[in-house]
Amino acid sequence: MTISENIRSTVLLVHGAWHGAWCWEKFAPELAALGWNVVTVDLPSSSADPDNTAGMYDDAREIRRRLDGISGPVTVLAHSYGGLPATEAAGGADNVERLVYVSAFQLDEGESLASQSAGQIPEGDVGTLPANDDPRKYFYGDVPQDDADRAADRLVLQTLKSFNEPLTRAAWKGIPSTYIVCEQDLAIPPAFQEAMAARASRNYRIPAGHSPFLSMPAELARVITSDSVSEGLR
| Residue 52 in domain | yes
| Residue 4 in domain | no
| Residue 2 in domain | no
CATH number for 175: 3.40.50.1820
| Residue 5 in domain | no
pLDDT given at position 3: 43
| Residue 3 in domain | no
Instruction: Over range 153-163, report the average pLDDT.
Output: 98
Q: How many structural domains are present in the chain?
A: 1
**Mean pLDDT for all residues in the chain:** 94
pLDDT digits (tens, 9 = 90+) for 135-155: 999 999 999 999 999 999 999
Instruction: Over range 194-202, report the average pLDDT.
Output: 98
Weakest-pLDDT range from 97-101, 129-133, 160-164, 214-218 = 129-133
- 128 bridge partner residues: 159
Range of the domain at 202: 10-230
pLDDT given at position 67: 98
pLDDT digits (tens, 9 = 90+) for 68-99: 999 999 999 999 999 999 999 999 899 999 99
| Residue 198 in domain | yes
Measured torsion, CA atoms of residues 27, 31, 32, 38, in degrees rounded to the nearest 10: -80
> Structure pTM?
0.94
Instruction: Over range 21-45, report the average pLDDT.
Output: 98
Q: Tell me which range, 91-95, 123-127, 164-168, is most confidently predicted by mean pLDDT.
A: 164-168
Instruction: Over range 162-172, report the average pLDDT.
Output: 98
